[in-house]
């Protein structure tokens, strides 16, 4: 379909992960290897709760090769993957737009966070020793809950008429 000149449409998104340390309150699923220390979820969402599937066809989350079927294709909302594990790694998030809308897919990168980040104060208290700062941060994080979430915007320059419709429908 035809492109609309001289306009661009942007859409807010949030993406990232939420992790929870395994504990009595948050037990490891029976199906998970016993060396896994965390449950986690990686996701792409609309910060206002709008339906992303109006213009997004699917989202593929590429996990570390240590995972079985490491490429997880999510074809409808919520665009998220629930997993367990022991290590942090980079997750590749590939967004595919609806058919015939004239948009190429977009790739985002997210570093899965499981461990609490040391604050500046933690690093000072640790005298600059990074490992010690991480231990202080871990001790302070009693809940075992860690989040790493980014706000971003998808910008569509000169969208096709079809894409414009998908982006602006209510
Ligand atoms: C690290 N470079 O050494 C990273 C690798 C891999 C994470 C992290 C378990 C996978 C599974 C898992 O957490 N892999 O057992 O399916 O920290």
Q: How many residues does the chain have?
A: 170
The pTM of the full predicted model, rounded to 2 decimals, is: 0.94
Q: pLDDT > 70: what percent of the chain?
A: 100
Supply the pLDDT for residue 154. 97
Q: Give the whole-angstrom CA distance, residue 169 versus residue 60.
A: 24
Closest CA to 94 of 72, 116, 112, 113: 72
**pLDDT tier at 170, thresholds 50, 70, 90:** confident
Determine whether the shortest distance from the Cβ of 33 to ligand 1 is under 6 A.
yes
Domain that holds residue 134: 8-168
Q: And the tokens for 2?
A: 């035809």
Q: What's residue 133's pLDDT?
A: 95
Residue 1 belongs to a domain: no
| Structure confidence at residue 1 (pLDDT) | 80
Q: Do 4 and 161 meet the contact criterion of CB atoms below 8 Å apart?
A: yes
The CATH number assigned to the domain holding 162 equals: 2.60.40.1970
In tens, the pLDDT along 35-64 reads 999 999 999 999 999 999 999 999 999 999
Strand intervals (E) in the chain: 8-21, 38-45, 56-62, 71-74, 79-85, 90-97, 106-111, 145-157
Predicted confidence band of residue 16 (pLDDT cuts 50, 70, 90): very high
The answer to whether residue 92 scores a pLDDT higher than 90 is: yes
Q: Please indicate whether residue 70, judged by its CB atom, sits closer than 6 Å to ligand 1.
A: no
Q: Which of 64, 81, 110, 113 to mutate to test the pocket of ligand 1 (most atoms within 8 A of CB)?
A: 64
Question: Token match 């859409």: residue?
Answer: 11
- What 3-state DSSP class applies to 49? coil
pLDDT tens-digit series, residues 129-139: 999 999 999 99
Q: Could you tell me the pLDDT band of residue 161, with boundaries at 50, 70 and 90?
A: very high
Query: What average pLDDT is seen over the chain?
Result: 96
Evaluate whether 57 touches 100 at the Cβ level (below 8 Å). no
67 lines ligand 1 (CB under 6 A): yes
Nearest residue (CA) to ligand 1, atom 9 = 85
Strand stretches in 52-141, DSSP E? 56-62, 71-74, 79-85, 90-97, 106-111
147 within a domain of the structure (yes/no): yes
> Is the residue at 3 inside a domain?
no
The domain total for the chain is 1
Ligand 1 close to Cβ of residue 162 (< 6 A): no
User: Predicted ipTM?
Assistant: 0.92
Distances from the Cα of 52 to the Cα of 36, 66, 94, angstroms: 32, 30, 14
Token pair of 157 as six digits: 């320059």
């Amino acid at each position: 379909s035809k492109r609309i000149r001289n306009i661009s449409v942007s859409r807010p998104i949030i993406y990232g992960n939420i992790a929870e340390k395994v504990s009595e309150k948050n037990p490891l699923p029976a199906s998970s290897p016993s060396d896994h220390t965390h449950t986690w979820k990686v996701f792409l969402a609309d910060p206002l709760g709008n339906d992303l599937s109006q213009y997004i066809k699917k989202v593929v989350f590429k996990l570390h090769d240590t995972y079985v079927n490491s490429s997880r294709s999510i074809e409808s909302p919520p665009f998220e993957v629930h997993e367990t594990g022991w290590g942090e790694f980079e997750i590749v998030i590939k967004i595919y737009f609806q058919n015939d809308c004239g948009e190429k897919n977009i790739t985002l990168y997210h570093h899965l966070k499981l461990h609490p980040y040391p604050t500046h104060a933690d690093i000072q208290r640790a005298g600059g020793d990074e490992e010690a700062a991480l231990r202080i941060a871990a001790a302070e994080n009693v809940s075992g809950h860690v989040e790493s979430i980014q706000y971003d915007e998808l910008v569509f320059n000169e969208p096709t008429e079809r894409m414009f419709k998908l982006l602006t429908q209510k």
